[in-house]
Amino acid sequence: MVALFLYRVFLLLYRLGARLISPWNAKARQWRRGRLGIFERLEQVLGGPGTEKKPLVWFHCASLGEFEQARPLLEKIRETHPGHRILLTFFSPSGYEVKKDYPGADAIFYLPLDSPGHARRLLAIAQPQLVCWVKYEYWYYYLREIRKNDIPLLLISGVFRPGQPFFKRWGSFHRGMLACFTHFFVQNESSKKLLGTLGISGQVTVSGDTRFDRVTDIAEQFKPMPVIEAFVNGAPCIVAGSTWSDDEEELDHFANTHPDIKFIIAPHEIDEAHLKDIEKLFHHTVRYSTLVKGPLSNTAPNTLIIDNIGLLSRLYHYATITYIGGGFGEDGIHNALEAAVYGKPVVFGPVYDKYIEAIGLVDAGGAFSIDNALELEDTFNQLLKDAAACAEACKASRDYVYSNTGATKKIMGYIEEKRLL
């Protein structure tokens, strides 16, 4: 089969590429090192093949964003079935390295690169009762082995688009991977209709996106941040989250010409070189790591650079306006729901068409897409000067998020009804 041969070539090139660039690429180095001796470490945590074990549920996420989608369901299973163990795997270092110490799972590992032997060995060690894969990531040998062992396999928060290989004339190899899933929980009706064109209908439920449940949980458990409150000090505040260089270059002029407005920049990458680049763009800055050490001297910076991980979802609480990074890159914007849940206007760049929640927020009037710095500044000025327009956008954002919760409950209902645990 030509497609399978090409898939094997892809896996080989991926492995070789990671090895070649790892000496100078930190993520490639983490990707390789995290998989060294992985099966021996799995056996230490979960026990070897054939040993008597507690029932286990396996969640697989590509990266950090998919983990946030998995988390509400994972934690609900943990709550309602405390006798089950949870295996959590990541493909990407940006997910694993941030969440490797997450207390909600019993075992957290990288997913070994796809191969027949790796798939057989992982399934033999884990012996999962239920497998949940999140949104996307279709690894042929793993899916085939799960189906061969007759293990229920759910896709949660799935999204399908016409441009994906499943819906192309040449996509039989990819369509075969879809056949391994027991049930699809998709985000919208268009995904369900697309699957219907492939003859997949009875095992599809439009559940929505579990991230809505996750962000509402975060917002409702919000804990104040005194350091941030002191920095903002009642002034209008713009919080820009998950920014890249392209975003920061659109934002800097407005921040530099509006010293009375507080800016909080939480970049997607916090390596020292990037932090220094931000400090060059924004004229009056202080790093969070400096601010927490105590009051500043006579300086009065208006831009706070967040130089650590894990604060962003709480920072949006303090915003007058939020900006979501990524919209000037090919991959598109990051998580807009973390900001919208607090009832904040959301602004982002032009690349957002792959994200259902971003489209929904724009349609609802809670989000605004801009193409350049001039449009960004016009949008900021309008929202800051027109209190009624800003309040309307705030309400639209919050209402949109809360009206779309409930995906976790639907998935759990299916799991309980089918007695999968």
* Residue ranges per structural domain of the chain: 16-208+406-417, 223-402
Query: Which of 3.40.50.11720, 3.10.20.30, 1.10.10.10, 3.40.50.80 is the CATH number of 16-208+406-417?
Result: 3.40.50.11720
Describe the crossing of helices 245-257 and 272-281 by its angle, rounded to 10 degrees.
30
Count the alpha carbons within 13 Å of 52 in the hemisphere toward its beta carbon.
0
Closest to 349 measured CA to CA, from 379, 383, 326: 326
Radius of gyration over every alpha carbon of the chain, rounded to an integer in angstroms: 23
Task: Please measure the distance between the N-terminal and C-terminal CA atoms of the chain and give it in whole angstroms.
Answer: 37
Closest to 60 measured CA to CA, from 148, 124, 123: 123
Residue-wise pLDDT tens digits, 350-383: 999 989 999 999 999 999 999 999 999 999 999 9
> Is the distance from CB of 79 to CB of 154 less than 8 angstroms?
no
* Sign of torsion over alpha carbons 61, 63, 67, 68: negative
- pLDDT averages per 10-residue partition of the chain, 421 residues: 91 94 91 94 90 92 93 96 97 92 96 97 96 94 97 96 94 96 96 96 95 94 93 95 96 95 94 94 93 73 92 95 96 94 97 93 97 96 96 97 96 97 93
By 3-state DSSP, what share of the chain in percent is helix, strand and coil, each rounded to 5?
50, 15, 35
What is the pTM assigned to this prediction?
Answer: 0.88
The reply to whether 223-402 shares the fold of 16-208+406-417 is yes
Give pLDDT, residue 299.
65
> Is the distance from CB of 71 to CB of 214 less than 8 angstroms?
yes
User: Domain 223-402, what fold?
Assistant: Rossmann fold (3.40.50)
* Both tokens assigned to 180: 């391994």
Enter the DSSP assignment of 131.
E
Q: What is the largest CA-CA distance in the chain?
A: 70
- Transcribe 341-406 into DSSP letters: TTS--EEE-S--TT-HHHHHHHHHTSEEE-SSHHHHHHHHHHHHH-HHHHHHHHHHHHHHHHTT--
Taking the C-alpha atoms of residue 361 and residue 357, their distance in angstroms, rounded to an integer, is 6
